[in-house]
Amino acid sequence: MIKKFIDKLLGKSPSAASKKPQFGKRVEVPATVHGIDPHLVDERAINVVRTLQQAGFEAYVVGGAVRDLLVGLRPKDFDVATNATPEQVKGLFRRAFIIGRRFRIVHVVYGRGREHEVIEVSTFRAYLDNAAAEQVAGNERTSKSELAGMKHAVDSTGRVLRDNVWGPQEEDAVRRDFTINAMYYDPETQIVVDYHNGLKDAKSRTLRMIGDAATRYREDPVRIIRAVRFAAKLSPLGFKLEAKTSGPLIKSQSLLNDVPQSRLFDEMLKLLQTGHALASVEQLKALGMARGIYPLLDVVVERAEQPFVAAALKDTDRRVGEGKPVAPSFLLACVLWADVRDGWAQRIRTGQHSHPALQDAIEDVFNARIGDVSGRGKLAGDMREIWLMQPRFEKRVGSTPFGMVEQPRFRAAFDFMRLRADAGEIDELLADWWQEFSMADDDLRQDMVDQVRTEQQQRKQAPKVHRAPAKDATATIAKPAAERDDAPEAEFAADTSDAPRKRRRRRRSGAAKGAGEGSGGAE
């Protein structure tokens, strides 16, 4: 009653007060209750926590790692939260790097090369709306860096713009999205700190947003995608979205229009590359959000039932489950292959030569589907190589096969070609030949190439049987060039029987021959 009277004097409406997240009551849960197996905690994460605590700071394993530990899983990644600032954290470790602008965090690196591991350390952050930001900014003890973080903390819609203001653990907890992600585990004392009944929700397999879900989605619209991702990831363990959490999702989806495209692109990749791509697609459909989150994601969902794309999504999930690396370039190349293939065939039908036709088709797809969000950097370059290498698999004579297996992107391009064979787009015998060739020694490889050359010569000497022309150019694209009587060795397999051809007399000098065959026969 007194609180309502004070709020009325200050001009605060009851509805506005009820929307503000409650900081919650700190509850310390002992090991006898939460049941976390300490052997599942990574030694490097324990070392980070111990180092910070010995320096006089608070430090805990936090977030998804605690959630996984509570359900008996060994987390793949460990994050640590502390009251030390990024600069203080960096000063305690030999290999530590401050990254990020909107969220400044520290990466503590252990090991080198592909075997290295990163422990991500974040500083407890304050919960800020604009009113709170103005109040803290008036404090004489507020540093310049904190003032910069507080300026325009929230826009007119309620979206959080800046978030580098340090605060107590209870406010850090309310900043987090789901109750099951807002728990803190101290591996030294084996105590779990819980502010929002996260332990209860973990045991009941409930995905619940902290505070009012619609308000939290306005604060950071990306939470909409995170809700879908966690629902997909945790559905095999029986987790379900609470009704009040899932209810505002569709109405809040329009908020994503104000999120930078680069951030949406990154969130889309998390949906597809965390080992639950197929489940994420199904979750989007079940929630009525199959379209409208991000244009490229719309294409993924639309094509997820096509055999080739479905195989790529399934293969990505399998590799993540086996702890193998996955590349976004490979999956996106699979999703957009139909556009490239059809554009390639269409250009050939108009009389364009195979190789420039393929290059132009690729450029059209980049402009239509990818845009500038990836910066046309490594991702686009890798996708281009995967696509451009496909017709080169048809050429299995000369030095081309030997050069192909030495290409940096050979394995990705081969896996792509194998999926095409599994989907019935090309002959499985071609994929089997390259599989054997890639694993053979030099002598066996030479024997395999000689055998292909002999078979080609025998086909040329055999009486020709006149066949009706293919109805669709894609049918000819799928047929190996070496098996077509009218295809010169130097041309891609995509040339169609009705497209104009120029047969060129090639010089057979050693240098010229090596250069031509080493480029895969592409003109």
With pLDDT > 70 as the criterion, what percentage of the chain qualifies? 76
Going by pLDDT thresholds of 50, 70 and 90, the confidence category of residue 462 is confident
Q: Do the domains spanning 23-125+166-204 and 205-320 agree at the CATH topology level?
A: no
Interval 224-245: pLDDT, tens: 999 999 999 999 999 999 999 9
Average pLDDT, the chain: 81
Going by pLDDT thresholds of 50, 70 and 90, the confidence category of residue 378 is confident
Q: For residue 508, what pLDDT is reported?
A: 34
Determine contact, residues 358/492, Cβ cutoff 8 Å: yes
DSSP-derived 3-state class of residue 97:
strand
H/E run at residue 480: none
Burial class of residue 157, CB neighbours in 10 A (0-12, 13-18, 19+): exposed
Backbone angles phi, psi at 2, to 5 degrees: -65, -40
Least confident among 163-177, 224-238, 388-402: 163-177
Average pLDDT value for residue range 471-477: 45
Interval 239-296: pLDDT, tens: 999 999 999 999 999 999 999 988 999 999 999 998 999 999 999 999 999 999 999 9
Active site amino acids: 77, 79, 177
Q: Please tell me the class of the 23-125+166-204 domain.
A: alpha beta
Q: For residue 379, what pLDDT is reported?
A: 87
Q: What is the CA radius of gyration of the chain?
A: 29
Per-residue pLDDT at 61 exceeds 70: yes
Determine contact, residues 242/209, Cβ cutoff 8 Å: yes
Determine contact, residues 98/87, Cβ cutoff 8 Å: yes
Domain spans, the chain: 23-125+166-204, 205-320, 336-518
Q: Return the CATH fold of 205-320.
A: cca-adding enzyme, domain 2 (1.10.3090)
Q: E strands along 295-386, which residues?
A: none
Who has greater pLDDT, 342 or 495? 342
Return the percent helix, strand and coil in the chain, to nearest 5: 55, 10, 35
C-alpha 55, offset from chain centre: 36
Q: For residue 480, what pLDDT is reported?
A: 44
Who has greater pLDDT, 137 or 314? 314
Average pLDDT value for residue range 355-362: 96
Instruction: Give the bridge partners for 29, in sequence order.
Output: 192
Q: Which of 454, 460, 354, 462 is nearest to 397 (CA)?
A: 454
